[in-house]
Amino acid sequence: MKTSPLVIGNWKMNPTSVSLAKKLASDLKKRLARMTGTDVVIAPPYPYLETLRAVRSESKSFALGAQNVHDEKQGAHTGEVSIPMLESFDVTHVIVGHSERRAAGETDTEVNRKLLSVVKSGLTAVLCVGETKRDHAGHYLTTVEGQIRAALSSLGKAKLGAVVIAYEPVWAIGTGENATAADVHEMRLFIEKVLADIYGRTYATRVRILYGGSVNAKNARELFVEGTVRGFLVGGASLKAGEFIDIINATRT
């Protein structure tokens, strides 16, 4: 099944003010108005969602994403944000299992609960998987497979199309080092194989597999073409409108 490429900008805890967020979103909207062929999602910090929704308006130039979510709809969960809250801001994509969340203590069980809640609500779950280091014995493949199987536990094949998988090797996030196109290609094939083992090949091919890890304007095209991924989860480079647009352009055929 052919699908459009997808590029997600994860702003993390940036920028430092709502005025800067509005300026960046407005710049992106203007540049994206002249582009087609690639789906774009911006995941800003929670306080900026309303600002980005207002900037986006009816342009449909980009969709809104969230960087995390709680699996419960409401309750005594201080500091958390629920899916209904995100839906009120027109959020369509939710990142789950990001390596920074896992490093802070998030477990595979929590990732699974969040993913199931997101998919059940009708939103798209962006599942992040990746190893902390590579080894010659290939144990990193076992790590990624374990993350996928745990996160998708109890998810029926009919809902698999609501999942995007972003491969983000932890050793390449924010380090300036990135996996080679050959590394990315190998992992894309492996992830698809794991999905096929669980759901069958027909359903496995419905999942868009992205790469995230020090993606920039210089390496994006090679990673996209030779890495055979369907797009990117972009961190720091998504805070620079020009570079982010160049990365999006790299996914256009």
- Block mean pLDDT (10 aa), the chain, length 253: 88 98 97 92 98 91 97 97 98 97 97 98 98 87 97 97 96 78 96 98 95 94 97 97 98 86
Our answer to whether residue 100 is catalytic in this structure is no
- The catalytic residue among 70, 93, 98, 185 is 98
**pLDDT recorded at residue 34:** 84
Who's near 236: CB < 8 A, 6+ residues apart? Answer: 174
Alpha-carbon distance values, 84 to 91, 125, 229 (Å) = 10, 15, 31
- The catalytic residue among 70, 93, 100, 168 is 168
Our answer to whether residue 98 is catalytic in this structure is yes
How many angstroms separate the CA atoms of 171 and 102, rounded?
14
